[in-house]
Amino acid sequence: MLPSANPQPVQERLDHEWTLIRFGFSLMKRFSTISSVVQHLSMTRQRHILYTGFEIAGSADLPRLKMALKAAADLFPVTIRERHALTPQQLRRWREMLRPHGPGVLNILAAFEVAFCGLLRSKEFCAKKTHGYLSSKFALTRDRVSFIPSLENVKFAVLNISVAKKRASNNRYNERNPVILPFDPDADVNGCARLVELFTLDPIPAHQMSVTPLFRDVSLGAGQPLVYRKLFAALRNLVQRSSDIDPKFYGMHSLRIGAATALLAAGCPKEHLMSLGRWDSECYKLYARANLPAMITWQRRLGRQFVLPTETAALLTRNGIPIEGSSLWPANCAWTAARDRNLTTNALDDSDSDDDS
């Protein structure tokens, strides 16, 4: 094997790696997560190649840098912000509280309810900033919504979104595109009904559908989208006005958390929940929260449930103690009563006997 034209001395490479480690730890003062530090280090090395023609520390594997960053991640874990779930009842209260709906309010309420019913991530339905939104891959415009069979006699709304999360090779659930929203005007929250209101009360000419954001900022003009910071502020303001809970516990992610919690309370199977939320891992469990009425029901069942562990039954058998006669077997056990009743009313006759004699 031919040596490289300009091999980098080992000591020089180690010095460069140590410099990268020091630079990485200095970046921790600026970034909140280790993944952001790693990304910034990678971009720095790429730019160094672009401007100087050679790579920092060569093409080495840099094991010490990896171990240092891993240790930093263990020492300084990411603090997850606490977010409470928004409920369908809260969203309905907001809608009733803000009547009558002008175009500005209507766009905000429609954004919240569509995001809730579609389990949308913020990037999938609102802009980070107004400039350049229509040219981004996540731009959601009016022409990406269709009503089946028609706007006047709607049964479903079909929303073609660009999925925010990168698709894994074995992903079965993250490919749920488009989002289908059934029409149910009597529900506490219904994204399809809000879209019908939006298209009816805030109409846009057909030739402008492709250049008009689905949820637009009326105060800025037809072509300007509602940005994240405005929706975030509106959400917290509505929480503060409609409840006694500190709004700091709510954010845009509360919509997705609330939808997952509602599906869990409704008994939605795991596979359907993952598909509706476009999750390809077990992280959906972080979103679905326990439902208080269900917890009370299970608490009632807990106190009435008869339990006899198999290992306890085996221990009784080994010691020659009849299971039904033990203190662990209640006299009024439903199973025992049913068995005795069946033996009394349906006694075996000769034809049912296994005795050949």
CA nearest to 224, candidates 215, 233, 232: 215
Work out the mean pLDDT of the chain and round it to a whole number. Answer: 78
Q: Residues 6 or more apart from 228 whose CB is under 8 A from it? A: 122, 126, 127, 128, 252
Q: Looking at residue 182, what DSSP letter applies?
A: E
Which range, of 1-10, 215-224, 298-307, 322-331, averages the lowest pLDDT?
1-10
Residue positions counted in the chain: 357
> Which tokens in the block code for residue 2?
């031919």
Widest pairwise Cα distance in the chain: 100
Angle at 29 between CA 28 and CA 35, to 5 degrees: 25
Q: Which residues, other chains included, contact 36 with Cβ-Cβ below 8 Å and sequence gap of 6+?
A: 27
CA 264/CA 7 separation, integer angstroms:
59
Other beta carbons less than 10 A from residue 101's beta carbon: 18
Residue 244 scores a pLDDT above 90: no
Residue 347 has what pLDDT? 42
Q: Please answer whether residues 218 and 107 qualify as being in contact, where contact means their C-beta atoms are separated by less than 8 angstroms.
A: yes
Pairing of strands 179-182, 145-148: unpaired
Tokens 């840098």: give the residue. 65
Strands (E), 74-225: 145-148, 156-159, 179-182
User: What pLDDT score does 328 carry?
Assistant: 58
d(C-alpha 3, C-alpha 78), whole Å: 44
CA dist 352 and 109 (Å) reads 69
In the chain, the amino acid numbered 235 is L
More confident residue, 63 or 86: 86
**From CA 210, how far away is CA 222, in angstroms rounded?**
12
CB 219 within 8 A of CB 142: no
> Is the model more confident about 265 or about 112?
112
**DSSP H helix total and E strand total for the chain:** 12, 3
Average pLDDT over residues 35-62: 73
Which structure tokens are listed for 41? 């280090």
Return the pLDDT at 192: 93
**What angle (nearest 5°) sits at the alpha carbon of residue 99, between those of residues 225 and 102?**
35
Which one, of 125, 303, 294, lies nearest residue 214 by Cα?
Answer: 125
Highest mean pLDDT among 35-44, 272-281, 319-328: 272-281
